[in-house]
């Protein structure tokens, strides 16, 4: 997490005064929200990192990942960034509140903390990776409660929608603005200087204009074209547009292949295998490829300027380049899965469980993914990552999930408590109960039954809930003492009584459950 609150360190492509000035103007005008939207490859992150280093205001930086679609995860990252930047803030109470999963109270506490530190900027990079209904609501509430001294800059790929009520209000009040693909496109003059600085090549303004037209000013394509040792790269890229059409990703893929194919075989293998890693260090690269030259390869990639960025103490590929390399690796399906599995094992051994799960799922290694989630699922759930956990469970094959009753219980909890889908939750609990019985885990079957009773209560079927919870308590009594499940069952019965309006019985059950928990 520390690495994700540090500015990305890369060889600056080219300082862009016209865009830095625009951002400075937006900040001076006290715009509350500044958006930077464009497809991949237009230099959004590098521009914002450069701006963060040139502005006089303190900057809190957050690089989002897919797991930040859970508001608790995002708020934890934001709190890390804020308390790292403003050392006078006490982090402990803030983190304790966020860990409880109270999004509204956590946002209010963050806003109060920021009100005490004076004018500042919050930069949220790669917002598109964390889009979810919960995240959109949390962002809306955050923008609503942040003090007037806060300015938020949000970068995302094109197509992300943020039309929440708070953002619409800001737009109406002319307190929100931004940069789009049109502004982010590199113009001929900028391309001319990039080619000179990066590749030592003198490109006349006419050729630079042709290159700008052929690439739509997409700097990733411009740089790939620069890596091609063609005498007239503008004509090459212009021809590509005629042959391959207007699709940026198709053109990028072709150019990337041209650059990749020019690398030595051993470097190609290093590129392909390490592309599956979320970030790279020498030790994990060496272990993944069973080599000892990982450090030399990383230095060579940096020397060749092959789309590699330093984030904190780690290195990572630009997203588009990593996606290209992974698609290239997938041409050999068996090797693709083998590399993903090994990388997942290495990450799990380093307690980087979220990233390990993603890799196991990417390799369709259902057994390994399910086993890891059985071990760490409750940890993810209890630390505010229920939505992410739910998406992982949905990716596991139905056959694998069906034989894992503990995961079915978790799925039911997510459906009931976070998505309010009680019918689907009851189905998950029913399947968990049946599988527990097949595995002769009768205590587990009772636990699933209690959870199903609670969902019946939440769905308004209180009579059925009371009947089922009574059956559960009778089964539990026959099986022998189990204070944890008994406390859970009695608590749920208390909730049922409370829903029915029988407050005295509800209170008696709550006291009984509390005594068992203690």
Domain membership flag for residue 398: no
Residues 99 and 246 in one domain: no
Q: What range does the domain containing 231 cover?
A: 188-261
Q: Where are the alpha helices (DSSP H) in 228-281?
A: 233-244, 248-261, 265-274
What are the C-alpha distances in Å from 382 to residues 74, 408, 410, 454, 458? Answer: 15, 16, 11, 19, 21
Q: What is the mean pLDDT of the chain?
A: 88
Examine the domain organization and report whether 45 and 150 are in the same domain.
Answer: yes
Residues 72 and 199 in one domain: no
Residue 396: is its pLDDT beyond 70? yes
For position 222, what pLDDT does the model report?
79
Residue 387 CB-half CA count within 13 A: 19
The domain that contains 80 carries what CATH number?
3.40.50.300
Nearest to 301 by CA among 273, 341, 337: 273
User: Judging by beta carbons within 10 Å of its beta carbon (0-12, 13-18, 19+), is residue 144 exposed, middle or buried?
Assistant: middle
More confident residue, 409 or 10: 409
User: In angstroms, what CA-CA distances link 122 with 23, 39, 64, 119?
Assistant: 13, 22, 13, 10
Q: Is the dihedral of CA 167, 171, 177, 183 positive or negative?
A: positive
423-463 residue pLDDT tens: 999 999 999 999 999 999 999 999 999 999 999 999 999 99
Please state, as a whole number, how many other Cβ atoms lie within 10 Å of the Cβ of residue 515. Answer: 11
Q: What is the CA radius of gyration of the chain?
A: 27
Residue 171 has pLDDT above 70, yes or no: no
Give the Cα separation of 81 and 68 in Å (integer): 14
Residue 469: the pLDDT is: 96
Answer yes or no: do 491 and 469 share one domain. yes
* Domain tally, the chain: 3
pLDDT-wise least confident of 89-103, 233-247, 450-464, 475-489:
233-247
Q: 219 lies in a domain?
A: yes
One domain for residues 125 and 226: no
- For 338-395, the pLDDT digits (tens) are 999 999 999 999 999 999 999 999 999 999 999 999 999 999 998 888 889 999 999 9
Continuous H helices in 439-482: 442-458, 462-479
The C-alpha atoms of residue 439 and residue 138 are separated, in whole angstroms, by 41
pLDDT for res 301 = 86
Q: How far apart are CA 332 and CA 326, in angstroms?
A: 10
Answer whether residue 364 is part of any domain: no
**Quick one: pLDDT band at residue 166, thresholds 50, 70, 90?**
low
- Percent of the chain's residues with pLDDT above 90: 60
Partnered with residue 63 across adjacent β-strands are 125
**Are 485 and 469 spatial neighbours (Cβ–Cβ below 8 Å)?**
no
- Rounded average pLDDT over 183-201: 84
| Residue 120 within any structural domain of the chain | yes
* Domain at 457, CATH number: 1.25.40.10
- Where residue 197 falls among pLDDT bands split at 50, 70, 90? confident
Q: Are 61 and 77 in contact (CB under 8 A)?
A: no
206-243 pLDDT tens trace: 888 888 887 788 877 777 777 665 545 555 555 544 44
Contact 193, 16 (CB under 8 A): no
Q: Is there a domain that residue 115 lies in? A: yes
CA dist 409 and 433 (Å) reads 9
Residue after which a domain boundary falls, among 208, 233, 261: 261
Same domain, 33 and 172: yes
Contact by Cβ (8 Å): 107, 31:
no
Percent of the chain with pLDDT over 70: 90
Of the residues 161, 184, 207, which one is the last residue of a structural domain? 184
**Could you tell me if 154 and 40 lie in one domain?**
yes
Chosen domain end from 261, 279, 304: 261
On whether both 81 and 161 belong to a single domain, the answer is: yes
Q: Is residue 309 part of a domain?
A: no
83 sits in which H/E element: helix 71-85
Confidence category of residue 410, pLDDT binned at 50, 70, 90: very high
170 and 234 fall within a common domain:
no
Instruction: Say yes or no: 76 and 213 in one domain.
Output: no
What gap in Å lies between CA 370 and CA 438, rounded to an integer?
19
Do 171 and 214 lie in one domain? The reply is no
What pLDDT shows up at residue 275? 95
pTM: 0.81
Residue 305 belongs to some domain of the structure: no
Q: What is the pLDDT of residues 3-33, one digit of tens each?
A: 889 887 655 567 889 999 999 999 999 999 9
Helix, coil or strand: residue 124? strand
Task: Please say whether the dihedral angle defined by the alpha carbons of residues 283, 317, 55 and 31, taken in this order, is positive or negative.
Answer: negative
Tokens matching residue 192: 């001319």
Whether 313 is covered by a domain: the verdict is no
Say which range, 52-66, 95-109, 308-322, has the weakest mean pLDDT.
308-322
Tell me the CA end-to-end span of the chain in Å, nearest whole number.
35
| Nearest residue to 4 via CA among 479, 472, 354 | 354
Q: Are 193 and 131 found together in one domain?
A: no
* pLDDT value for 163: 55
Q: Which residues pair with 311 in a beta bridge?
A: 8, 314
Task: For 120-145, write each residue's pLDDT tens digit.
Answer: 999 999 998 888 878 888 888 898 89
The pLDDT assigned to 245 comes to: 46
């Amino acid at each position: 997490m520390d690495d994700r609150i540090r500015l990305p360190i890369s060889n600056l492509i080219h300082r862009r005064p016209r865009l830095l000035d625009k951002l400075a103007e937006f900040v001076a005008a006290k715009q509350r929200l500044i958006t930077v939207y464009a497809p991949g490859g237009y230099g959004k992150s590098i521009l914002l990192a450069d701006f963060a280093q040139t502005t006089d205001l303190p900057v809190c930086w957050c690089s989002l990942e897919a797991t930040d679609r859970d508001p608790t995860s995002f708020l934890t990252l934001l709190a890390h960034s804020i308390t790292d930047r403003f050392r006078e803030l006490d982090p402990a109470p803030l983190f304790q509140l966020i860990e409880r999963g109270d999004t509204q109270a956590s946002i209010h506490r963050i806003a109060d903390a920021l009100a005490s530190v004076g004018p500042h900027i919050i930069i949220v990079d790669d917002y598109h990776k964390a889009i979810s209904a919960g995240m959109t609501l949390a962002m809306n509430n955050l923008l609503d409660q942040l003090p007037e001294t806060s300015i938020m800059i949000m970068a995302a790929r094109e197509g992300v929608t943020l039309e929440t009520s708070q953002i619409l209000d800001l737009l109406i009040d002319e307190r929100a603005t931004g940069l789009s693909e049109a502004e982010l496109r590199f113009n001929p003059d900028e391309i001319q200087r990039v080619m000179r600085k990066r590749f030592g090549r003198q490109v006349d303004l006419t050729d630079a204009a042709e290159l700008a037209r052929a690439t739509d000013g997409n700097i990733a394509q411009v740089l790939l074209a620069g890596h091609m040792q063609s005498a007239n790269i503008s004509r090459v890229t212009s021809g590509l547009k005629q042959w391959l059409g207007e699709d940026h990703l198709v053109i990028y893929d072709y150019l990337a292949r041209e650059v990749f194919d020019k690398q030595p075989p051993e470097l190609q293998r290093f590129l392909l295998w390490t592309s599956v890693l979320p970030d790279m260090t020498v030790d994990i690269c060496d272990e993944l490829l069973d080599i000892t030259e990982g450090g030399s390869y990383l230095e060579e990639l940096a020397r060749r300027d092959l789309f590699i960025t330093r984030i904190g103490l780690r290195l990572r590929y630009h997203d588009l380049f990593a996606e290209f390399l992974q698609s290239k690796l997938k041409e050999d399906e068996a090797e693709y899965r083998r590399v993903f599995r090994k990388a997942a094992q290495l990450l799990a051994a380093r307690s980087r469980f979220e990233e390990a799960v993603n890799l196991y799922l990417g390799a369709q290694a259902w057994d390994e993914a399910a086993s890891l989630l059985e071990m760490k699922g409750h940890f993810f759930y209890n630390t505010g990552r229920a939505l992410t956990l739910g998406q992982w469970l949905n990716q596991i094959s139905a056959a694998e999930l069906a034989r894992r009753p503990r995961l079915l219980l978790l799925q039911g909890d997510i459906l009931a408590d976070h998505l309010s889908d009680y019918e689907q939750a009851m189905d998950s609990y029913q399947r968990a109960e049946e599988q527990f019985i097949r595995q002769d885990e009768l205590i587990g079957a009772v636990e699933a039954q209690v959870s199903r009773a609670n969902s019946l209560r939440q769905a308004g079927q209180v009579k059925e809930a009371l009947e089922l919870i009574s059956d559960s308590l009778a089964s539990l009594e026959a099986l022998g003492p189990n204070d944890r499940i008994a406390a859970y069952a009695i608590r749920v019965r208390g909730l049922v009584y409370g829903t029915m309006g029988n407050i005295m019985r509800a209170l008696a059950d709550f006291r009984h459950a509390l005594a068992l928990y203690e």
